[in-house]
Structure 1
């Protein structure tokens, strides 16, 4: 498959890079490479990307793009998120094809997790 015109990399603003790295490493197993104090690249997320220091948070209330992660087990993933300082902001709900919930990481960025199981 050609990568021409495909999404290749995403960048996410974060309030605290070290807190965000610790959260995503512990909960989702992502790996990071720092490029200075204000930028880190991540791998192991399904698509590579980076996180940069910012004052803003991503939120669907603000019209932000929503990064949606997949899980084989929503309940376990939700428990891990909460155990590592994340906050559930929308409980599990059904939609055609599966179930999902929304959460904020410890710095306030909103994400979702879905499953077809």
Structure 2
């Protein structure tokens, strides 16, 4: 298992969470699909659920804050100073949705949008570092920013988080990796054939020991398939949505 201990380097994707109108249904769904167990943080924190793999934090699921709010996975990027990062966001053409605000005993957070309108979070640890299991089944293994204007967004993320970019052989021309100090952290590009009107968004990739079996569990537990599992130069992938319409990608080893 690939585990992480301690604070994440600023700019690194460090956490991902989901807000839904029915938390028990969501936890049952993700338990079936990804094998997660859950720890309830209690009423003080809105009964936010910490998803775990073998006792290590992988992601979070909580209730929606406003009626009618859509459900989607929010990717959080680590920061050493959430207030300073929030200022960089607005100074470089992004917008703040919420925060900076404290989560008592855990961290200081911001919810923002980039210049292309994709929502993301900023997390400064004050005790809760973020994901403790990554790059393994049940953990976050990759993340893509799928954007209406990737060129402008890349300039934004470079200014705010210091990202550098490289083209990817076999990927669309407008797709690049993003990296910190030469270490690749994820990908960034266009909307990759999404239906007209699809807004900019980040999409989380979760590891699965058997992508096809995980997709079958998605269907059996009220979710839907947006892209059936297929082998790619980058692994076997299937894009799915949970019962509330929140999309995510399942990723595993190429099959024969």
TMscore range, shorter length: 0.7 to 0.9
Distance in 2 between residues matched to 1:49 and 1:76, nearest whole Å: 21
Change (3 A) 1:49 1:115: closer
Unaligned runs of 5+ in 2: 74-145, 147-197
Shift of 1:72: 2.8
- Could you tell me which of 235, 240, 248 is aligned with 1:98? 235
User: Cα–Cα, structure 1 residues 56 and 38, in superposed 2: closer, same or farther, change >3 Å?
Assistant: farther
- Tell me if the contact between 1:99 and 1:114 (Cα under 8 Å) persists in the aligned partners: yes
What TM-score do the two structures reach when normalised by structure 1? 0.79
Q: TM-score, normalised by structure 2?
A: 0.40
Match of residue 28, structure 2, among 22, 38, 46: 22
Q: Any idea what the Cα deviations from partners look like across 1:27-46, whole Å, max 9, x if unmatched?
A: 22211122225522221297
2:18 alignment counterpart: 12
Q: Based on CA coordinates, which of the two structures has the bigger radius of gyration? A: 2
Residues 115, 48 of structure 1: CA spacing in aligned structure 2 closer, same or farther, 3 A cutoff?
closer
C-alpha RMSD of matched pairs (Å): 2.6
Can you list the C-alpha shifts for 1:56-85, whole angstroms capped at 9, x where unaligned?
A: 222763323211112232221211211111
Contact kept? 1:15, 1:56, Cα under 8 Å: no
Partner of 2:248: 111
Unpaired stretches in structure 1, ≥5 consecutive residues:
none
SS for the counterpart of 1:56 is: coil
- 8 Å contact kept, 1:66–1:110: yes
Q: Secondary structure at the match of 1:12?
A: strand
The answer to whether structure 1 residue 41 and structure 2 residue 30 are counterparts is no
- Is 1:58 aligned to 2:72, yes or no? yes
Alpha-carbon separation, structure 1, partners of 2:241 and 2:27 = 14
